[in-house]
Amino acid sequence: MNIITLHLGNGCSIAAIKGGNSVETSMGFTPLEGLVMGTRSGDIDPAIIEFICEKEGLTVQEVESLLNKQSGLLGISGLTNDMRELIAEADESSDRRARLAIEIFCYRIQKYIGAYMAAMNGADAVVFSGGIGENSPVIRSIVCNALSWLGIAIDETLNAQFTSGNEGVISSNDSRSKLWVIPTNEELLIARDAVRLITR
């Protein structure tokens, strides 16, 4: 079974899982690589670091801090790294930069899903998790509706029901890939790993 998992929160990552093994992940040497996150830039041209150093008179360490702590949703919007607040701003005041942050966030996710679909020759399921993935029907809808060419079809009625950490399917019956919302349980995984290490 091929699965694409999306952990979307203040930190974000996507993984391609083939037969129970992770064969691709958006994170690189550090979590900075990959998707746009709350305050992290995600993928950039490596040459941008030297460019910013020279243009702004910053050290490499200061640019690294900028890319990790002042970029992403916060940097694009100039407002906040909280997706709930960005969606509210976009809806209530049509804030241009809030809309841009949401669009870039979703576009990067769509690009990675497309790439991982190609890498695995399709996916049986796409899973949304993390604070945004579990609780934002808006983001799930934007992401999935742009992937109809892959045969992905979201059921908007089901999608609207998942806003408080509950688990279930949000795809329509004719979707080529099942769409799931599954809450994360990082504490349980850490506890299980700890038990395995202790009892070896």
CATH (domain of 92): 3.30.420.40
Instruction: Name residue 184's amino acid.
Output: T
**CB contact set of 171 (below 8 Å; sequence gap of 6+):** 152, 153, 154, 155, 158, 177, 178, 179, 180
- Name the residue with tokens 């002042």: 70
Helix or strand holding residue 109 (H, E): helix 96-120
pLDDT for position 130: 94
The two three-digit tokens of residue 15, written as one number: 């993984």
Residue range(s) defining the domain that contains residue 65 = 2-198
Domain count, the chain: 1
Amino acid at 148: S
Q: What is the pTM of this model?
A: 0.92
In whole angstroms, give the CA distance from residue 169 to residue 179. 6
Q: Give the pLDDT score at 189.
A: 82
Tell me the pLDDT of the chain (200 aa) as tens digits. Answer: 999 999 999 999 999 999 999 999 999 999 999 999 999 999 999 999 999 999 999 999 999 999 999 999 999 999 999 999 999 999 999 999 999 999 999 999 999 999 999 999 999 999 999 999 999 999 999 999 999 999 999 999 999 998 877 899 999 999 999 999 999 887 888 998 899 999 88
Q: Which pLDDT belongs to residue 110?
A: 97
Q: What is the pLDDT of residue 141?
A: 97
CB-CB contact of 105 with 36 (8 Å):
yes
Q: How far apart are CA 51 and CA 57, in angstroms?
A: 10
Contact 113, 8 (CB under 8 A): no
